[in-house]
Amino acid sequence: MSHNKKAPETLPSVEQVETELKNINYRKKFRSTLFSTISILIVVAAVAVLVSTLFFPVVQVVGNSMEPTLSAGDVLVLVKSDDVKKGELCCFSWQNKTLLKRVIGRSGDIIDMDSEGNVSVNGELLDEPYVENKELGKCEIEFPYQVPEGKIFILGDQRETSVDSRNSAIGCIGKDQIIGRVLFKVWSGD
């Protein structure tokens, strides 16, 4: 005769059940906290991208036309605005490229530049401490030059190599080309 009796199952103790319930609740809270944290991070990232795209674009400097003021690799925050003033750094679109230059003159201003690279606006010589080597550079326009209506005359700080309003390829830029003016430098590429 064989006995097919099973050994009686032992029930977990109250402490084991409470411990298991605590573990289950902890896992639920952890998942909930993780999910809400990830959701918040996604919303914050989306808002940051939206704000930077619509109001404060971020650009990285490529090239040396703005040295010594800016160097290749510098990361800049712009303010989206086409209202740029003389002396400000302006980022603009030209042939699917983003260029960065300094505003020298606005609509109606008379720009003059001598053979040594000294710049005058409306008869006043500009104090340009940001230009290390004053030079006429590659110039395809005749001075004195009057900035056309609705346009801005821009120059790079590295006058001997910068391609800017002195060059007929770029010329004066329109307000519709302006992406924004430089607000501050976030990162130095040096």
Active site positions, annotated: 65, 101
Q: Is 143 exposed, middle or buried (CB count within 10 Å of its CB: 0-12, 13-18, 19+)?
A: middle
Both tokens of residue 81? 């605005």
Q: CA distances (Å), 160 to each of 43, 57, 112, 174, 180, in order?
A: 47, 29, 16, 24, 25
Distance CA 152, CA 169 (A): 15
CA–CA gap between residue 80 and residue 95 (Å, rounded)? 19
Contact 56, 183 (CB under 8 A): yes
Question: What number of residues does the chain have?
Answer: 190
